[in-house]
Structure 1
Amino acid sequence: MVVADADKDLPLKEDIRQLGRMLGDTIREQEGDDTFQLIEQVRQSAVRFRRGMDSAASDALKEILKGLSPGRAILVVRAFSYFSQLANLAEDQHHIRRSRTHRMAQEAPRPSSLGHALAQASAAGLDAQGLQSFFARSQVRPVLTAHPTEVQRKSILNAQVEIARLLDERDRSASTPREAALRDEQLQRQVLLLWQTRMLRPQRPAVTDEVSNALSYFERIFLHQLPALYADLEDRLALDPAWGDAELPPFFQLGSWIGGDRDGHPFVTAEVLQQTLDLHSRTILDFLLQEIQTLGEELSLSLQVSRASQEVLDLADRSADASPQRRDEAYRRALILIHQRLSATRRRVSLGGPTEDSAIEPYAAPAELKADLDVLDQSLRRHGGRRLARGRLRDVRRAVSIFGFHLAPVDLRQGSEVQGRVVAELLEALRPGTAYASLPEAAKVALLSAELESPRPLASPFLTYGEETQRELTLFRTAAVNHKRLGIEALPSCIISHTEDVSDLLEAAVLLREAGILRPAENRLDLNLIPLFETIEDLQRSGDIMDGLLSLPLYRRLLQSRGDIQEVMLGYSDSNKDGGFLTSRWELYKAEGRLLDVARRHGVHLRLFHGRGGSVGRGGGPSYEAILAQPPGAVDGQIRLTEQGEVIAAKYGHPAVARRNLEVLVAATLEASLPVAQDPGADPRFTKTMDALSAKACEAYRDLIYGAPDFERYFWESTPIAEIAQLNIGSRPASRKGGRSITDLRAIPWVFSWSQCRLMLPGWYGFGAAVRAFQAEHGATGLALLQDMHATWPYFRSLLSNMDMVLAKVDLAIASRYADLVGDRNLRDRIFTRIQEECEASITALKAITGQREFLESNPYLMRSIQHRFPYLDPLNHLQVELLRRYRAGDTDDRTERGILLSINGIAAGLRNSG
């Protein structure tokens, strides 16, 4: 077995060696042999440090790094950054290679695959009719967000995509020696292109830059892979004759926050929202125009040798095409008409521009375009062209149903405190002396409820308002205009961050009424009003808040216009920062149960929106296990989750990898929605144990983060947080208020900083203390109970699996180098010793409960990935510490600062889920 496993990994090792050799040759060619030898010396010393952690290796590495000039340091940082990126590409290709080998062997479907999910559904008694009903009521929507951990420039990503394509092409085809040599030359060319491309942005990206970056994933990946995923699923379902030719509804879509998320983001304005929607609509309409043109070139059917329905002939006759060469080509002429109408639609959608030919009527909605394409599909199927209908036409029809004319639904998000101030100003201007902000909650709810019963707006064109109020009103009015222009699907949700009371939601409702998005007289609400519960306290109160909201008669009437579906967003990042990993996850789980109970009592359907980040400390981890670990009834075909930062590139940068990750979301949602036996989590022993563990873990976490004297200073000096705030990796500021307070710091740079210094503290701290206290109270029976929970409860097993992944990436030896940056020795020793002891206790507890001797025994793929990546990452950490030391000591050379920022970039890209 060991030999077989080694053989399986041989192609991966060869790829890493080849790409590493190509980068080494490029460095020697471009920078000289002395630079290449220097990089090799650093690498070998770092490997010795990692393997033995002996003082000689440590001293040798320190001496090498101290002697580097800023210019040479930058060369070393760039070299190891690219080494780690190339190793990641090789890992991805090996994963694709192994998946293809598995499918070619026609082995039993693996968990997380569509085949496995459908087999589970069949075993649960779900027939074709049941599956049709399931997909008809389902919504699966990953939502792309732009956060300051996506460090890769688009130029770098483009080169990586081409390298991945060449590796995949080599795997899939036999080559002559000449073809192989040419492909190697192409690979070498891309490596050279990487080396000669600037890694850092010269300035912080604008929001529209982030929008364009996200759109590149739609153009390269989603516009092609999503229709293919639907086709694959439909073909699998069609194996059951009872399914027939039924088509899936557009239950799976990609959403976006980029350009609509205003929470703490001063640069997202009404103008930016409009630009975002324009970019989205142009992208999808241009794609559809190109596809329909290509389809017209392909469907060369002649009426002399084939037949067409009367509906196709009618479309062809309405075409402006008068060429005698195409007189008998009805499908082509029909597609010319469709293309003409879609071109007119693009001009209409593009800021309401007129059509060039008034005789050509634009499509009023995507459904009209879909209906015309359906005419072609039905005619082909009736007249011997079923295979033709299943080609490009099938994908174009599917693209229209998924992406419409808006491409991706954009969510609006704003903080409750902002909307509270706006409503207070509007009320004060109308009725001076209202003093809304000082009213008790019950009085606020009564006032706002009465206000929402009236169709009369609060805002007056004859009054002057503050800049913040004008900005919010303008944005909602822009949203209303685009509802009419692109359909309400383009802007389907309004998310209220920091929801703490019912009034926070009603304040947002008042602002929606000001724009006509909420219309009391019609009992109509044109988007979903979504609370975001983020802190531990807010999660604990979430059930009561939603009970209060759903008890309001006006809101229940409005919710009926949304299909009686209430969406609630849960914040993983801030709850983790507030109470630590274990407490955050447990309070999230309990909040889901409370929200389900409230929804059932009020007769509404609950859709949960999981605000997960890339790192485990922010809710990250394998999506399949995370979805299956939800409480029974919490999924029920409905799930939304954020895809953030550098995780987007890792999960969706390569077509095959993207397809696999999209499939996982569908499979997990289906499996998690199947009827199951009683959840082991309902066992009172398990819930009582989790309550006890959570209380102790939270106490330990908060005692360090918010209780230890001068911890804030330790954090700012022992991590590159100050330098991260300067890095041009996102348009959003790192801190909400611009200060150094941990309370004000955003959760993303908080986690990002701990990842950079290789402690990953938000993903495990407090667990060791919690288990130690539990065992002290319950003895051997306590450990046996924890082991039973791990063996039988999916929630607890997923929790520990994620912690296992985090602790496998912790490196206390490297972290100690960062701790040396703290100027106060007593502070440094006091805090780092606590962290080190808790880390060791957490590792001991994890292994005792799971029975593992080593990390990631149940996930050899990730363990292998870490083993291949970290030898290239370690030197970046060592060099980052040296450059931070120089910079903070007053080194004013701008190359020193650039070297730090490059090292941050390299470590984040190598870790792949650091934010």
Structure 2
Amino acid sequence: MASLPAIANNSDIRFLGTLLGDVIRSYGGPRLFEATETIRKASVERHRGLAEGRTDDHAAVDLSLEKLSLDETLDFVRGFMLFSMLANLAEDRQGIAAEHGADLASAIAQLEAEGIDRTQVRALLDHALIVPVLTAHPTEVRRKSMIDHRNRIAELLALRDAGRDTTPDGDRVDDAILRQIALLWQTRVLRRDRLYVTDEVDTALSYLRDVFLPALPALYQRWDRALGERTPSFLKPGSWIGGDRDGNPYVTADSLKTALARASEAVLGYYCQAVHALGAELSISTEHAVADPAVEALAAASGDDATSRADEPYRRALSGIYARLAATQQKLTGKAAPRPGRLTGAPYASPADLRADLVTLAHGLGTALKTGGALGRLIRAVETFGFHLATLDLRQNSAVHERVVAELLKVSGVEPDYLALDEDARVALLRRELANARPLTTRFAAYSDETAGELAILQAAADAHAAYGPACITNYIVSMAQSVSDLLEVNLLLKEVGLYRPGDTPTAAIMAVPLFETIGDLEAAPAVMTAWFALPEIATIAKARGHQEVMIGYSDSNKDGGYLTSTWQLSKASTALRPVFEQAGVGMQLFHGRGGAVGRGGGSAFAAIRAQPVGTVQGRIRITEQGEVIAAKYGTRDAAMTNLEAIASATLLASLEPERLSNADTTRFCAAMDWLSDTAFHSYRDLVYGTVGGDERGFRTFFRQMTPIAEIAGLKIGSRPASRTKSDRIEDLRAIP
């Protein structure tokens, strides 16, 4: 990946800044423009003076801010906010351009140069899984209207890069960019009302529907050409939005149902439109081509007896497929298909059945038609998105599970005080209950609101499996996981709705995934997972599945131990988990809870994945995409394709590249990092938490006075509360407020 040039050399920033100046002059007047320019130049001069270490009067330039009226100050702030937004856009484009060298073809060529052939690449891809997971973490301040204008500017800049003077609509590209900036100037930046979970669901759907759906099948076609054969569908989108209940009381069974139904409506609508378009394209007549018997059978079963299509078996078959898709959409979402159809059909039982019909059509086509094209992209879409569009995770805090399980055990008469038991007693009790087919719940009992809500969520998940297929929800993230009992509690709750089944060969339709978030929890992760795999029933389930996921948290570990210690402990935990999984005979899948800021693991995903410890990727990785990162990486189709390909390429390289460090160097470097991390950790803890004679209250006061944390808490940027408790302690502050 190429290194980034200096920001001062970014021509996009200068171009967009000039257009913004024109907009300020036109809409704010010459006085505002001149004041803005004066303050901008003075700020640059002051910054240069401070950077050069000067303390003379020249370094203390008068910014003249006090000369602005209140209205002028507000306009001035808006102007600089827009400049920052446009500069960030330019930097995002610069970063995307730098990752254009991170394509899969280049990665394969690099591996071949190091003695890794395509057979090994294919073997890795056969079991690979790469999932960017969209989350609703409240780090995106801007309204969607602002983001839409920003994304349109990015698309127009791409036309400009390609040497295009006009848009497809005939407008001059530069004029169209100016118009978008003028719209930004006149658009309200912040939301007036708080966000609801459904708002977050709709925002995520706009990216999944408008970007991921068309981009991923096109990417797979590129990857097929790079590998020289059809690649498995190893990269799929995921989401937390509608299923992440950790600290958000507004995520309920209803919001989970809404998220799943709207996602299904979007993907099934896309399939219907694609099938309709194929009906126009595949005009093959039996007068000029011999139809495959399987295609003829599909056409005959469609019920399409129109004489105008009697000699067009593909069109008749597609009419039947459309009718079945329309019935599927009506059944799963209660919504009609985008276009009313003349025919009726039985709903598809699964995405595999739809794929089978489409593959029948593909096999019936001649050599020049059966691969690629619109039909090939649709088949790939069905493999990738199913009837659910994006796999939805469930997430809840381990403390909630403890309380819910304690209540169920008490009400059922099994254990009066589960919370008083030590870890060994808890594990023994939970294992006995998991082996017992008898449910703990009864419809005759009255449960607390918390327990009833958790049970309702799980029942909604079970219903979703029956409706959309098991791929719609596969993981249950356990926040603040610290012990084996934290995971067994989830399995016990899953058993109540049939998603965990006991017996000689127990099964779990949803995987309990520990999230290790603090420095102490990261250090304890290998011991917890060793104990987890030591349970025979768990080992049976994990080996049958082929892998077990572990999530590691960047934000909370950074808040707990500081940036350097957090980064090093994440690396050490990943490395230490590898032999645990190898000993258990289970594939390791790490889920990286990264954010956008550097302190939360932000930066190039390509570089971050390649920097993972040797042997810890193994072709399987999931990564969160949070807040403002989503707009930056997936705001346009081109940006999304570049970022998704960079993730795929980095995963290949991290999994297959040989180790370059000797054992002696690794030992030496690790010892140095241990010392640096220990020193940094104690300094950080003393400063922030007052652990070595310091005053935590002093830092707390400093933090509240020097940061806009109170103002951030008041912004309407997320559906969840800004804090879990009313405490103002640093320990109780969300890592992402």
Q: Is the TM-score greater than 0.5? A: yes
Aligned match for 2:108, one of 112, 118, 135:
118
Q: Kindly provide the amino acid, as one letter, of the partner of residue 466 in structure 1.
A: S
The aligned residue for residue 688 of structure 1 is 671
Measure how far apart 1:9 and its partner are.
Answer: 9.0
Measure how far apart 1:321 and its partner are.
Answer: 3.2
The aligned residue for residue 219 of structure 1 is 209
After superposition, the C-alpha distances for 1:505-539 in whole angstroms (9 at most, x for unaligned) are 11111111111110113511001110111111111
Aligned match for 1:413, one of 395, 401, 404:
395
Measure how far apart 1:60 and its partner are.
Answer: 5.7
Measure how far apart 1:83 and its partner are.
Answer: 1.6
The aligned residue for residue 492 of structure 2 is 510
The aligned residue for residue 188 of structure 1 is 178
Matches within 5 A, 1:649-660: 649-660=631-642
- More moved, 729-738 vs 451-460: 729-738
Aligned match for 2:252, one of 250, 269, 272:
269
8 Å Cα contact 2:140-2:627 kept in structure 1? yes
Aligned match for 2:446, one of 449, 461, 464:
464
The aligned residue for residue 519 of structure 2 is 536
Aligned match for 2:718, one of 730, 739, 745:
730
1:66 aligns with 2:48: no
Matches within 5 A, 1:745-760: 745-749=733-737
1:373 aligns with 2:370: no
Change (3 A) 1:352 1:390: closer
Change (3 A) 1:77 1:459: same
The aligned residue for residue 390 of structure 1 is 372
8 Å Cα contact 1:636-1:673 kept in structure 2? yes
Measure how far apart 1:358 and its partner are.
Answer: 9.5
Distance 1:478 1:249 in 2: 30
State the SS of the aligned residue for 1:414.
strand
Which residues of structure 2 form unaligned runs of 5+? none
Change (3 A) 1:426 1:179: closer
Q: Kindly provide the amino acid, as one letter, of the partner of residue 719 in structure 2.
A: S
The aligned residue for residue 701 of structure 1 is 684
Change (3 A) 1:304 1:247: same
Measure how far apart 1:432 and its partner are.
Answer: 7.5
1:587 aligns with 2:569: yes
Measure how far apart 1:20 and its partner are.
Answer: 2.5
State the SS of the aligned residue for 1:730.
coil
Measure how far apart 1:195 and its partner are.
Answer: 1.5
Aligned match for 1:20, one of 17, 21, 35:
17
After superposition, the C-alpha distances for 1:171-197 in whole angstroms (9 at most, x for unaligned) are 324548999973333222212221121
Q: Kindly provide the amino acid, as one letter, of the partner of residue 299 in structure 1.
A: L
Q: What TM-score does the superposition give when structure 2 sets the normalisation length?
A: 0.93
Measure how far apart 1:73 and its partner are.
Answer: 2.1
1:138 aligns with 2:138: no
Distance 1:626 1:98 in 2: 15
Distance 1:353 1:36 in 2: 53
Measure how far apart 1:433 and its partner are.
Answer: 6.3
Aligned match for 1:617, one of 594, 599, 612:
599
Measure how far apart 1:21 and its partner are.
Answer: 3.0
- More moved, 25-34 vs 263-272: 25-34
Measure how far apart 1:149 and its partner are.
Answer: 0.6
Q: Kindly provide the amino acid, as one letter, of the partner of residue 22 in structure 2.
A: D
Q: RMSD in angstroms over aligned alpha carbons?
A: 2.6
Q: Kindly provide the amino acid, as one letter, of the partner of residue 298 in structure 1.
A: E
Measure how far apart 1:385 and its partner are.
Answer: 2.9
State the SS of the aligned residue for 1:496.
strand
Aligned match for 2:651, one of 666, 669, 672:
669
State the SS of the aligned residue for 1:639.
strand
Q: Kindly provide the amino acid, as one letter, of the partner of residue 380 in structure 1.
A: L
After superposition, the C-alpha distances for 1:827-882 in whole angstroms (9 at most, x for unaligned) are xxxxxxxxxxxxxxxxxxxxxxxxxxxxxxxxxxxxxxxxxxxxxxxxxxxxxxxx
Distance 1:573 1:620 in 2: 10
Q: Kindly provide the amino acid, as one letter, of the partner of residue 38 in structure 1.
A: A
Change (3 A) 1:95 1:643: closer
Measure how far apart 1:59 and its partner are.
Answer: 6.3
Distance 2:369 2:280 in 1: 16
Aligned match for 2:348, one of 345, 363, 368:
363
State the SS of the aligned residue for 2:623.
strand
Aligned match for 2:237, one of 254, 273, 277:
254
8 Å Cα contact 2:423-2:485 kept in structure 1? yes
Change (3 A) 1:453 1:99: closer
Distance 1:533 1:262 in 2: 17
8 Å Cα contact 1:497-1:533 kept in structure 2? yes
After superposition, the C-alpha distances for 1:876-899 in whole angstroms (9 at most, x for unaligned) are xxxxxxxxxxxxxxxxxxxxxxxx
Distance 1:9 1:298 in 2: 50
Change (3 A) 1:352 1:513: farther
The aligned residue for residue 89 of structure 2 is 89
Q: How many residues align?
A: 720
1:50 aligns with 2:47: yes
Change (3 A) 1:170 1:367: same
The aligned residue for residue 753 of structure 1 is none
- More moved, 503-512 vs 23-32: 23-32
8 Å Cα contact 1:571-1:610 kept in structure 2? yes
8 Å Cα contact 2:245-2:395 kept in structure 1? yes
- More moved, 503-512 vs 185-194: 185-194
8 Å Cα contact 1:534-1:571 kept in structure 2? yes
Distance 1:270 1:179 in 2: 45
8 Å Cα contact 1:681-1:687 kept in structure 2? no
Change (3 A) 1:679 1:470: farther
The aligned residue for residue 230 of structure 1 is 220
Distance 2:683 2:15 in 1: 47
Q: Kindly provide the amino acid, as one letter, of the partner of residue 121 in structure 1.
A: L
Measure how far apart 1:479 and its partner are.
Answer: 0.4
Aligned match for 1:328, one of 306, 311, 317:
311
The aligned residue for residue 727 of structure 2 is 739
Distance 1:731 1:61 in 2: 42
1:571 aligns with 2:546: no
1:645 aligns with 2:627: yes
Distance 1:666 1:147 in 2: 24
The aligned residue for residue 266 of structure 2 is 283
Distance 2:359 2:429 in 1: 51
State the SS of the aligned residue for 1:673.
helix
Change (3 A) 1:348 1:555: same
After superposition, the C-alpha distances for 1:68-95 in whole angstroms (9 at most, x for unaligned) are 3443222112111112222333445556
Distance 1:56 1:641 in 2: 49
Q: Kindly provide the amino acid, as one letter, of the partner of residue 617 in structure 1.
A: G
State the SS of the aligned residue for 1:499.
coil
Measure how far apart 1:356 and its partner are.
Answer: 9.4
- More moved, 171-180 vs 278-287: 171-180
Change (3 A) 1:616 1:37: same
State the SS of the aligned residue for 1:421.
helix
8 Å Cα contact 1:93-1:167 kept in structure 2? no
8 Å Cα contact 1:263-1:413 kept in structure 2? yes
The aligned residue for residue 882 of structure 1 is none
Distance 2:167 2:461 in 1: 58
8 Å Cα contact 2:165-2:173 kept in structure 1? no
8 Å Cα contact 1:124-1:674 kept in structure 2? no
The structure with the greater share of residues assigned to helix is: 1
The aligned residue for residue 481 of structure 2 is 499
Measure how far apart 1:442 and its partner are.
Answer: 0.7
- Identical-pair percentage: 46
8 Å Cα contact 2:319-2:343 kept in structure 1? no
The aligned residue for residue 782 of structure 1 is none
1:41 aligns with 2:34: no
Measure how far apart 1:478 and its partner are.
Answer: 0.6
The aligned residue for residue 446 of structure 1 is 428
Change (3 A) 1:483 1:353: farther
State the SS of the aligned residue for 2:551.
strand
1:555 aligns with 2:542: no
8 Å Cα contact 1:539-1:591 kept in structure 2? yes
Change (3 A) 1:617 1:33: same
Change (3 A) 1:178 1:139: closer
